[in-house]
Amino acid sequence: MREAEEAAFARGVEVEGLMDQAGAGIARAVREFFPHPGRCIVYAGKGHNGGDALVAAERLQRAGWTIDIRLAFPEDDCSELTRKKLQTLRTVPQNSSASESRVSPAIVLDGLLGLGAKHLLREPIRAAARQINQLRREQNAFVFAVDLPTGLDSHSGETDPEDCVIADFTVTIGFAKHGLTADAALDFVGRLEVVPLPDLTLGDGAPSELLAAAHSLSSLLPRRKFSAYKNQFGRIGVVAGSKGFVGAALMTAHGALRAGAGLVEVFVSEEVYPIVAAAAPSEAMVKPVRSYRDLLEEKIDIWAVGPGLGKSRASEVLRLIERAEQPMVVDADGLNILAEKIDILKHCRGPRLVTPHPGEIKRLFDLGKMSRAGTARNFCEQFPVTLLFKGSRTIVAERDRPLSFNTTGNPGMASGGMGDVLTGVCAGLLGRKLSLYDAARLGAWVCGRAAEMAIFISGASEESLLASDVLDHLGDAFNELRNPNLYL
C-alpha cells in the first residue's frame, strides 16, 4: 500500500484526491449495510486516517445522517488536511431524513489510527478505543473501522491485549492488508470490505493472496446473450438426501437453480423418492436410483454430491467420486465418506471441488498447529483439487493459484442448510462454464452477500436467518454484483 501510494504521488496524484475517494467509498460501504440514515459517531485521529473518516461523515451527513464528531486530539494538533476536512464537514447543514417511524441505527466510525501504527496503544488513543468498545457493548452500536481497527497490526494481525477496537465492519482502503486476514484478527476485523482506488496500482508480480470482493468478481459473470438457451448453462446432477435428511437435497437443488443452472436432476434412493419428488422445486427433475454406481452412465455436465447422503452406500459413492469424468462438488457426507479413503482424491478422473467446514477438514487431514491459510495451502499441495474451506472468512485454494479470502457473510449463517445451498450454487456456476476456482470464490461471495441482504432488506436477524432466506436473496446478490450501487 505504501509503495502504491508513493508511486501515485510520483505521478502527480494528490493526497487529498485519494482521501476524497477513500471517504466516499467508506460512506458507500456504510450505506450498503444501513440504507436508512441514522446516527454516526466519528472518532478521528490527527492523521489522514481521521481525514478519511471525516470525508465519509460529510457524505453521510449529506445523505441525512446525524453526525457526532469526537476528536482524539486537540484540533490544532491535527494535520492540515484533516483540519480542512473537519471544516468542510461543519459547513454541511444537518438535514436528517430518517423516518420518525423507523428505528435508526447507531454506528461508530473508527478513524483513530491507520496504516503503519503500532498495535500497542497509548493515550489518548487508548481512551478513545475504550469508548468505542463501550458504545458497541452497551448501546449496540455497529463499529466501522477505517482501513483497520485501532490497535491491530496491519501486517501480523496482532492486537493490543486490552483495548483493540472490536469492529463489526472493516473498510480497508486500496488493498487488503495481510494482518486483516490473520486467524487471530477475525473477531476484531468483522466483515471486510475493500474500497478500490483507481489511482493505486500493484507493482510487478502476481499476489500470493487475494480478497474476493464485488469489484474483483463481477467480470466472472457476464450478462447472457439474448439467444441463450438452457443447454448452455449445464445439466446439474444432485446426489443428496437420505431418510431423515431430504431437506439437504432440496436446498442443494434450489441453490443450483438460483445460480443459473440450465437443468437440475436430483438422484435419490428409492426409499425417499416419494418424499423428495413431492417437495422438490417444480423446476427440478427427481429420479429414483437403485445404485449410485449406475449414475456413471447418466448424461450430466456437473455433479453435486454429498449433502444429507448418509454413509450406508459408501462404496457406491466413492466409486462415483473417483470415476466420474465431469467436474464435481463434494460436500458433507461425500467428504465424510472420503475421509475413509482420502487418497482417492489423488487420482479422480475429473476435477473436484471439495467444500469442508472446520470439523470435516479435521476428518480429512491432519491439521497440526497450522493456520487456516496454511491448512488450505498444504491440503492442495497433497491433493490436486480445489478447496473451499468454509468458515467466517471462507478460503478458496488451488495449487499454483493465489489463496482467496471471502469477504461476505454474517454469524447468522451458522445454521443448518447453508452449506447445502452453497454446494448447489457452486454447481450451478460450474454449469455456466466457470472454473472450479472462480465458481468457489463467486459462490461463497454471493451466498454471504445474500445472507447480509436478508437482514437489511427483509428484516431478518442473525438469530432468525435461515438457509431459505439466503435462497430468496440470491437474485439481489447477483444483481448487486453487476451494479454495486443498486441498493444505495
Cβ(180)–Cβ(157) below 8 Å:
yes
Same domain, 283 and 401: yes
Q: How far is CA 425 from the centre of its chain?
A: 14
Please state the φ and ψ torsions of residue 35, each to the nearest 5 degrees.
-65, -25
Does the structure show a pLDDT above 90 at 331?
yes
Distance CA 321, CA 334 (A): 8
Residue 71, strand partner residues? 44
Residue 359 sits in which domain range?
220-482
What cell does 405 get? 479470502
Are residue 41 and residue 77 in the same domain, yes or no?
A: yes
Closest to 249 measured CA to CA, from 424, 439, 473, 471: 424
Strand, coil or helix: 282: coil
Amino acid found at 399: R
Cβ atoms of residues 307 and 333 within 8 Å: yes
Query: How much is the pLDDT for 207?
Result: 81
In a domain, 168, yes or no: yes
Region 271-294: what's the mean pLDDT?
96
pLDDT tens, position by position, 263-281: 999 999 999 999 999 999 9
Q: Examine the domain organization and report whether 262 and 360 are in the same domain.
A: yes
Q: Of 383, 381, 467, 454, which is closest to residue 423 (Cα–Cα)?
A: 467
228 and 134 co-located in one domain: no
334 occurs within a structural domain: yes
Comparing 114-123, 157-166, 380-389, the range with the smallest average pLDDT is 114-123
pLDDT digits over 468-481, tens only? 999 999 999 999 99
CA-based R_g, the chain, Å: 24
Residue 487 lies in a domain: no
How does pLDDT run across 350-394, given as a tens digit for each residue? 999 999 999 999 999 888 889 999 999 999 999 999 999 999 999
CATH number at residue 256: 3.40.1190.20
- Domain co-membership, 292 together with 163: no
Q: Is the pLDDT of residue 429 over 90?
A: yes
- Same domain? For 66 and 195 the reply is yes
pLDDT-based confidence at 208, cuts 50/70/90?
Answer: confident
Residues 6 or more apart whose Cβ sits within 8 Å of residue 189: 145, 148, 149, 152, 167, 170, 180
Q: How many domains does the chain have?
A: 2
Q: How many CA atoms, within 13 angstroms, populate the side-chain half-sphere of residue 136?
A: 21
> Is 215 within a domain?
no
Between CA 212 and CA 60 the distance in angstroms is: 26
Asked if the model's pLDDT at residue 95 lies above 60, the reply is: yes
pTM: 0.94
Question: What is the reported pLDDT for 99?
Answer: 45
> Does residue 166 fall inside a structural domain?
yes
Q: Could you tell me if 131 and 196 lie in one domain?
A: yes
Same domain, 74 and 154: yes
Q: Is the pLDDT at 284 greater than 90, yes or no?
A: yes
Stretch 424-448: mean pLDDT: 98
Looking at the predicted structure, is the pLDDT value of residue 126 above 90? Answer: yes
